[in-house]
Amino acid sequence: MNIAIIGYGKMGKAVETIALERGHTIGLKVINDRSEIDYSEIDVAIDFSTPNSAPKLIKESLENGVPTVSGTTGWLEKMSEIENVCLKNNTAFLYSSNFSVGMNLFFELNKQLNSLICNHKQYQASMTEIHHTHKLDAPSGTALSLKEDIESNLEIESIREGEIPGTHIINYNSNIDSIQIKHEAHNRNGFAFGAVLAAEWITNKKGVFEMSDVLNLKK
C-alpha cells in the first residue's frame, strides 16, 4: 500500500517504521493543515495529528476518496460530521482511541468485568490513567472509551509525567476486598502496529468501522 501519514510527530514516525517493515511505502507526510495535499496516488491515510487539526485533515482525505484510519483523540464532538463525509464520498473511516491490540482486548475485558460486578453494589469503581507530559488531552481518549462501559459518573484521575506511553488502571473497591485490571503500554510500537494493521484491513472497504471489527471482537 501507498500510505499517507497525517501528522508526523512521534506516533507518525512510529507508524512509518512499522509500515516500511511490513512492505508498504509512504507516499505522503502531512505536516500541517495549511497546505494543498495531493492524495491521487494514496491508498490509505493514517492520522495521528492534533485535536485541532484532525477534523479538517480527516475530512480532506475522505473527500478525496481515501480510506482513513484515525487515532487522534480530543475532537470527537465532530465525529458525526466526519462519518457523514465518509458515507457521502463512498469510502471508509475507522477511529480508535487506542490501536494497541492488547488494549482492545482490555476493552473487552473491561466490559465483561463490569457486567459481572454491576449488580454487586458494594464495589465502587475508579480509574487512573497515566501518560507522558506531551499529551494534549486529559482524560485520555482511551480512558473515556473505558468509562463508557462502566458508568457515566465515574471519576478519572489523569496523571501526566515523564515519557510514559500509556497506563490505564481500573479498580473496584469494597470494604472487604479489591479487584483491579491494568493495561500498561511499554512503548509506542503497539499503537503503530495496530494502526497499520487497521489500514491494511480497511483498504477496499466502505463504511464506518472500529478496531473491534479489525480484530473480529464483535459478537
CATH number where 154 lies: 3.30.360.10
Contact residues for 80 (Cβ-Cβ < 8 A; gap 6+): none
The bridge status of strand 92-95 relative to strand 207-209 is parallel
Q: In the predicted model, is pLDDT for residue 91 greater than 90?
A: yes
- For the chain, report the end-to-end CA distance as a whole number of angstroms: 30
Compute the C-alpha angle 37/43/49, nearest 5°: 50
Q: What percent of the chain has pLDDT over 90?
A: 82
**Are residues 84 and 112 both part of a single domain?**
no
- pLDDT value at position 136? 81
Q: How many domains does the chain have?
A: 2
Q: Give the pLDDT band (50/70/90) at residue 71.
A: very high
If you average pLDDT over residues 159-181, what whole number do you get? 95
Q: Is the dihedral of CA 205, 210, 216, 219 positive or negative?
A: negative
**Residue 219 domain-assigned (yes or no):** no
User: Whole-angstrom Cα distance, residue 90 to residue 85?
Assistant: 9
- pLDDT value at position 34? 67
Grid cell locating 185: 503500554
98: left (phi > 0), else alpha (psi -120 to 50), else beta?
A: beta
Report DSSP letters for 17-51, one per residue: HHHHHTT-EEEEEE--SSS----TT-SEEEE---T
- pLDDT value at position 173? 95
**Are residues 67 and 149 both part of a single domain?**
no
For the sheet with 68-70, list strands across it: 25-30, 2-6, 44-47, 68-70, 92-95, 207-209
**Residue 79 domain-assigned (yes or no):** yes
User: Whole-angstrom Cα distance, residue 23 to residue 43?
Assistant: 14
3 state SS of 70:
strand
**Are residues 106 and 118 both part of a single domain?**
yes
Domain residue limits at 201: 2-99+189-214
Q: In the predicted model, is pLDDT for residue 217 greater than 90?
A: no
Instruction: Kindly state the helix (H) or strand (E) to which residue 115 belongs, with its residue range.
Output: helix 101-117
**Are residues 36 and 69 both part of a single domain?**
yes
Q: Give the pLDDT band (50/70/90) at residue 218.
A: low
pLDDT, tens only, 7-64: 999 899 999 999 999 999 999 999 876 667 899 999 999 999 999 999 999 999 999 9
**Are residues 201 and 160 both part of a single domain?**
no
Q: Which residues are catalytic?
A: 131, 135
